[in-house]
Amino acid sequence: METVVELSGVVAVLSSFPALAGIDLAVQRGEIVLLHGPNGAGKTSVLRVCAGLLPIERGEGSVMGVNLRTQRESVRERVGLLGHSNGLYLELTVAQNVAFWASAVGASSQEVALAMQQMKIDGRLADIKASQLSAGQRRRCALASLMVRRASLWLLDEPHAGLDTAGQDEFDAILRTAVNSGATVIFASHETQRSRSLATRVIRVEGGLISGGES
């Protein structure tokens, strides 16, 4: 099996606080890994390290064969990150937001149409400014923007937050499709009931370390 993410003894620092205190993690291609744990455990930091956003202070890490210490910038084009914030431009409409992300990464208009259709933000919602959307609708818009990225590693922070049950189902289906076509997913969540059924592996993060796991 192909190892997509490999972290060993990774320490990552936010200002002077060690968000990750020497974490070891290996994720194989095709896995859907759930990270759960208390607030401030370091789940978000794991995702940001894997996305090449947060530099590694100590230890070693690689994502898809790219060394996170020396060339973390070059890992970014192959990962898709959905953080706490949605990465939307609040003064643009839904359609303009998705279209911008599509043109920034060179996706076609068919892909845009498909993503918007799948996240059910086409039609009436498309011409509404992002600032006027509900939290769940913004999340849908962000997910549609993420879908046009065609990432091979999906890093999702609370992807279900704000979505209604139908939206969560739709999103889970999209994730499974992506994984079937060769993608890998790491996601952080509290909502363990739904999340556990989606995940192929569950890992507990606590105090900036992996404190337990099950397959």
Partner 1 sequence: MTTTQTTATPATQKLGIATTLALIFLLFSGLIFSAEDVVQGSTVRIMYVHVPSIWVAYLAFALTAICSAVYLSNRSRSLIWDRFAGAAAEIGVLFVAVSLVTGSLWGRLTWGTFWVWDARLTSTAFLFITYVGYLAVRRLGGTFRQRARRSAVMALLAVLEIPLVHFSVNLWRTLHQKASIADPNAKVKLDGFMLFTLFWGLISFTMLFVWLLIHRQRLMALEDAVQDQGLDLAIQQRRTEAGR
Partner 2 sequence: MTSRMQTARRVSVAVARKDLRIEWNSKVLLNQVAPFSLVIMIMFAFALDNEGILQRVAPGLLWLATLFSMLVIVQRSFAVETADGALDALRVAGTEPVGIFIGKSLALMVQLFALELMLLAIALVLYTVEPTAMGYAETFATMAVATIGLGFVGTLYGGLGAGARGRETLLPLLLLPAVAPVLIGATRATEAAFGSGGAQSSEGWPWIGLLAVFAGVFGAVGALAFGPMIEE
What is the rounded distance in angstroms from the CA atom of residue 103 to the CA atom of residue 145?
11
Strands of 153-157's sheet, edge to edge?
A: 79-82, 153-157, 184-188, 32-36, 201-206, 209-214
Asked if 202 is part of the footprint of partner 1 (rule: CB under 8 A), the reply reads no
- Residue 95 partner contact from partner 2, partner 1, none using kind-dependent CB cut-offs of 5 to 8 Å: none
Asked if 208 is part of the footprint of partner 1 (rule: CB under 8 A), the reply reads yes
- Residue 206 partner contact from partner 2, partner 1, none using kind-dependent CB cut-offs of 5 to 8 Å: partner 1
List the one residue from 2, 8, 17, 73 that touches partner 1 (CB under 8 A). 17
- Residue 207 partner contact from partner 2, partner 1, none using kind-dependent CB cut-offs of 5 to 8 Å: partner 1
* CB-CB contact of 174 with 32 (8 Å): no
- Residue 18 partner contact from partner 2, partner 1, none using kind-dependent CB cut-offs of 5 to 8 Å: partner 1
CB of 164 to partner 2, least distance (A): 21
What is the rounded distance in angstroms from the CA atom of residue 177 to the CA atom of residue 65?
24
Segment contacting partner 1 (CB under 8 A): 9-17, 77-85, 113-121, 186-194? 9-17
In sequence order, which residues have a C-beta less than 8 Å from that of residue 179 and are 6 or more positions away? 30, 32, 185
